[in-house]
Amino acid sequence: MTIREFKMPDVGEGLTEAEILKWYVQPGDTVTDGQVVCEVETAKAAVELPIPFDGVVHALLFEEGTTVDVGQVIISVQTGEAEAPAPAAAAVEAAPAAAEPAPAARQPVLVGYGVSEASTKRRPRKAAPAPAVAAQNGTAAPVAAPAPAAPAAPAPLPAVPAQPSGERPLAKPPVRKLAKDLGIDLASVVPTGDGGVVTREDVHAAAAAAITPQAAAPAAAPVAAPAAVAAPVAQAAAPAVDASVRETRIPVKGVRKVTAQAMVGSAFTAPHVTEFITFDVTRTMKLVQELKADPDLAGLRINPLLLIAKAVLVAIRRNPDVNASWDEAAQEIVLKHYVNLGIAAATPRGLIVPNIKDAHAKTLGELSESLSALVATARDGKTSPADMQNGTITLTNVGVFGVDTGTPILNPGESAILAVGAIKLQPWVHKGKVKPRHVTTLALSFDHRLIDGELGSRFLADIASVLEHPRRLITWS
């Protein structure tokens, strides 16, 4: 009997970690090759992980809700494979080499064969003598100062030195990102990982230590104050409320973490320009009602967003240069001869942007079916990573919240995003008279490296023109 390990796989999204949402098995359960053992969340999608061998679950290495790095073992399984006994003579000869175990074979995971074992290991840092550290930091005198009531807990800390001066701290990229977000200097963190590696727990401990002195200072003030003012100070401190009651801290992970990283990267990489246009869509609203009554479209979801999506596709055909991306590495503009139309969708896990593949080639009915399926899948939390890749232009409908307009941020790698505002009855000059008309505002944000002001303005004006005069869906197609 042998124990085989299953590691967190890279499901092809280029991510470094994933959160375990749910375990479907427990220790002692029998599993078979291909059976789903857990569900994880990566890059805005929930993914079920099948195990690639048979056996009995030996142990679950992480609890639900834990974020695990790609390549870490998450479950061990006892299999029926027996290890062939080695001859006694060979065992004696191999004894000196037993200290260096052979590298484990790469195990098949969800995609490919997972993360290969590192061929080299970090050389552990040499720990500096404790007295030398104390002398360099100037902490010897305060330790010797008379303070009978002072706690002795911080004393062991100098025994494990922080990062030596001049050397770059050892830490994984996610840990470095965590330290940066919390404002912690990794060089000041005491590492507890193997070989002097800084772990997540070390960073959190350093952050907590930075907050503790600030919280402890008010409590120490009454001790040093004269007896005459001790009572008023105590009375002033009485109304203090625990910070956890007044604030709630939510870990940034999963969809929110990926969305935040993407938006920051987009905002500070692509120079955004946003233009607005307000116009009459009364004819489009009438067309929506007529299409709903059309027997050929029975059973399909017909709404203004469908016609807006169609108008965008028509405008792209008239202005093909807007459908492009910027290749920074090659210093090239990549013109796309297809349209993967992204639709921003609010889900229980957060905002995601799946896209309709080859939307330019779909009829109105096919576009309606794809749009309905995309939204339903997103709300059920079943959108696959592939559905969110290779988008070209995105629609975001802020009008459903009663919002008139906004300044949307580009989805990374795309050239433009169109925000659709609320459609409202407003007084509008029509044929020389003020009448109540359905009016809306569109906001187009675009990458100014790809789209200049003239092209962006023509593209936005064409979208509005189609929606103001829907017959152009035919004449311009």
Which sequence positions are flagged as catalytic? 448
Alpha carbon distance 337, 321 (integer Å): 10
Alpha carbon distance 56, 81 (integer Å): 12
3-state DSSP assignment of residue 333: strand
Q: Whose CA is closest to 25, among 42, 12, 11, 38?
A: 38
Alpha carbon distance 299, 272 (integer Å): 40
| CB environment 427-451: b (16+ within 10 A), e (fewer) | ebeeeeeeeebbbbbbbbbbbeebb
Alpha carbon distance 292, 176 (integer Å): 54
DSSP 295: G
Is-contact 443 419, C-beta < 8 A? yes
138, 141, 146, 147: CA torsion to nearest 10: 10
Q: What angle do CA 361, 362, 368 make, to 5 degrees?
A: 155
Q: Whose CA is closest to 359, among 440, 422, 305?
A: 305
**Pairing status of strand 433-447 against strand 416-420:** antiparallel
Alpha carbon distance 328, 265 (integer Å): 14
Alpha carbon distance 306, 288 (integer Å): 9
For 431, phi then psi, to 5°, come to 55, 40
Is-contact 428 435, C-beta < 8 A? yes
Alpha carbon distance 393, 111 (integer Å): 29
| Tokens, residue 218 | 């008010």
Calculate helix-pair angle for 364-379, 304-318, nearest 10 degrees: 120
Given the structure tokens 């200290």, which residue do they identify?
99
CA 431 to chain centre: 50
3-state DSSP assignment of residue 245: helix
DSSP 261: H
